[in-house]
Amino acid sequence: MSQLVDEAIKSVTSEPVKYSSKDFQSDQDVRWCPGCGDYSILAQTQRILPDLGVPRHKMVFVSGIGCSSRFPYYMKTYGFHSIHGRATAIASGLKLARPDLTVWVVTGDGDGMSIGGNHFIHLLRRNIDIKVLLFNNQIYGLTKGQYSPTSEKGKITKSTPFGSLDYPFNPAALALGSSASFVARTLDRDPKHMQAVLKRAAEHKGTSFVEIYQNCNVFNDGAFFRFTEKDTKDDNVVFIEHGKPLVFGKEHNKGIRLNGFTPEVVSLADGKYSVNDLLVHNETDTTLSFILADMTYKSHLPRPVGIFLANDRPCYDEEMTKQIETARQKRGDGDMKKLLNSGETWVIN
C-alpha cells in the first residue's frame, strides 16, 4: 500500500463500533421481486457481518451483472456493481492493491459460471483472499428466463422451447477442480445453516466459495423445493459436517456409506449397517470433497449441503506482498533516479 493511501485511510479517525445488522443496510430500496430468495441471503449476510470484527469501511462488495449483482447497492459498505462476469477479476485487482480490505464477490450462476467462468476458476486456483457468494437459481432472471449453465438438461425455457441440450455445471465440483481451498453449499430457505456457512467462509483465509441455492419465484419457482421444503428436505438432503457421519432422512435412519470410492445409501433401520459403517466427513480431505461434490446430480443420492472443503493453502495476495518485501530487503527501496541512470550510459559534452 502506498504512503498516500495509508495517510488517506488513517486521516479520518474511527472508533471501533459494535455493529448490528441494521448498520449494514444502505438507504437504497431493495428492488428484487417480492418472494425472491435473494432477500434471505442479504439478511443473513447482514446478520453475520457484525460478528466479524471488521469495520464497515474496510469491507467491499463487488458484483457483476444479474439479479444477484444488485446486492452491493443494498449494503452500507463500499460497493462496486461492475460488468458481466468480471467481478472476480476486479476483486482480484482490488485485493492485490489493498490487502487490508475484506473483499466479497456476489455473483450468480450466469455471471459466475457462464460469462465469468474463466475469471472464476482462475481466482480459485490463485487462492486470493476473497469471499465469493454464488446465488444459484438455475435460470437467467434479469434477462427474463433463459436457461443457465446450471439448469437441468432438457429444461424448457424461452430460448430452449424444445428443451436445453446443455449438461449443467456442478459449481462445487468445478470449484474443487479449480483447486479451491474453501467450498460450501447452503440454502436460501435455511437461514441458520447459511449464517453458519457464511461465517466460516468469512473466517477462511484464501478464496472462499459458497454456492447458495436460491429460489427465483418468477422464472424458476420451486427449483430447489425438494431440498428446502419441510416434507421433502430430510429425505433429499444430507448435511455434511466435519467429523460427523453422513446421516439423513426424516427418522435419521439413512446414511451414506462408501463402497470402494462410490457413495451409496444404506438403511440404518434394518440392522445390517450401523452409524459406524458410515462415511465420516473430513473437510480437510480433498479426495473426499470430490466424492461428496460428485453426489450432486445423482438422483439416487441425497443432495450434499454444507462445507465440502476447508483447507489452508498459501494465498496469492500474501505471497505477492512477501515477494515485494523480500525484494526491498535484498535490493533496498527502489530508486527511480538510480534506475534511469543504470546500465550502459555515456556522456556527451
Partner 1 sequence: MAEKPTQTLDEVTIRFAGDSGDGMQLTGTQFTNTTALLGNDLSTLPDYPAEIRAPQGTLFGVSGFQIHFGSKEIHTPGDQCDVLVAMNSAALKVNLGSLVDGGAVIANSDGFNDRNLKLAGYASNPLKDGSLEKYRVFEVDITKLTALALQDLNLSSKIVDRSKNFFALGMMYWMYNRPIDSTVNWLTKKFGSKPEIAEANVRVLKAGWNYGETTEIFAVRYQVGPAKLPPGKYRNITGNQATAWGLMAAAKKAKLDLFLGSYPITPASDILHELAIYKQFGVKTFQAEDEIAGITSAIGASYGGALGTTTTSGPGLALKSEALGLAVMVELPLVCVNVQRGGPSTGLPTKTEQADLFQALFGRNGEAPIPVLAASTPADCFDTVFEASRIALKYMTPVIFLSDGYLGNGSEPWLIPDFDKLPDISPTFRTNPEGFLPYMRNEATLARPWAIPGTPGLEHRIGGLEKQNITGNVSYDPVNHETMVKLRTEKVERIANEIPPIDVDGEKDGELVVIGWGSTYGAIRSAVTKTRERGKKVSQIHLRYLNPMPKNLGDVLSKFKNVLVPEMNLGQLSGVLRMRYLVPTIPLDKVQGLPFKAVEIEKKIAEILKG
Q: Which of residues 310-329 bind partner 1 (CB under 8 A)?
A: 320, 323-324, 326-328
Could you say whether residue 16 binds partner 1 (CB under 8 A)? Answer: no
In whole angstroms, the minimum distance from the beta carbon of 59 to partner 1 comes to 8
# of chain residues touching partner 1 (CB under 8 A): 71
Q: 130 with 318: CB under 8 angstroms?
A: no
Q: 114 with 149: CB under 8 angstroms?
A: yes
Name the DSSP class of 277: G
In whole angstroms, the minimum distance from the beta carbon of 249 to partner 1 comes to 43
Q: Which three cell numbers stand for residue 305?
A: 449441503
Name the DSSP class of 282: -
Q: Which three cell numbers stand for residue 238?
A: 444430507
Within residues 106-135, the interface with partner 1 by CB under 8 A covers 118-119, 122
Of 247 and 320, nearer to partner 1 (C-beta) is 320
Of 68 and 215, nearer to partner 1 (C-beta) is 68
In whole angstroms, the minimum distance from the beta carbon of 121 to partner 1 comes to 8
Q: If 0-12 CB within 10 Å is exposed, 13-18 middle and 19+ buried, where does residue 53 land?
A: exposed
Tell me the window of 34-42, 203-211, 296-304, 338-346 that interacts with partner 1 (CB under 8 A). 338-346
Could you say whether residue 20 binds partner 1 (CB under 8 A)? Answer: no
Instruction: Quote the distance between the C-alpha of residue 296 and its chain's center.
Output: 17
Q: Which helix (H) or strand (E) holds 132?
A: strand 130-136
In whole angstroms, the minimum distance from the beta carbon of 109 to partner 1 comes to 19
Could you say whether residue 14 binds partner 1 (CB under 8 A)? Answer: yes
Within residues 72-101, the interface with partner 1 by CB under 8 A covers 72-73, 75-83, 86, 89-98, 100-101
Distance CA 255, CA 246 (A): 5
Could you say whether residue 9 binds partner 1 (CB under 8 A)? Answer: yes
Of 260 and 348, nearer to partner 1 (C-beta) is 348
Name which position in 12, 34, 53, 259 contacts partner 1 (CB under 8 A).
Answer: 12
In whole angstroms, the minimum distance from the beta carbon of 175 to partner 1 comes to 16
In whole angstroms, the minimum distance from the beta carbon of 10 to partner 1 comes to 9
Of 122 and 226, nearer to partner 1 (C-beta) is 122
Name which position in 21, 50, 56, 217 contacts partner 1 (CB under 8 A).
Answer: 56
Which residues, in sequence order, are CB contacts of 6 under 8 Å at separation 6+?
A: none
Could you say whether residue 28 binds partner 1 (CB under 8 A)? Answer: yes
Q: If 0-12 CB within 10 Å is exposed, 13-18 middle and 19+ buried, where does residue 222 land?
A: exposed
Could you say whether residue 67 binds partner 1 (CB under 8 A)? Answer: no
Q: Which helix (H) or strand (E) holds 304?
A: strand 303-310
Q: Which helix (H) or strand (E) holds 288?
A: helix 286-293
Tell me the window of 53-61, 151-159, 273-281, 303-311 that interacts with partner 1 (CB under 8 A). 53-61
Name which position in 22, 161, 271, 346 contacts partner 1 (CB under 8 A).
Answer: 346
Task: Name residue, grid cell 422451447.
Answer: 161
In whole angstroms, the minimum distance from the beta carbon of 23 to partner 1 comes to 10
Distance CA 92, CA 248 (A): 38
Give the bridge partners for 208, in sequence order.
Answer: 131, 182
Strand ranges of the sheet holding 247-248, from the earlier edge strand across to the other edge: 247-248, 254-259, 262-267
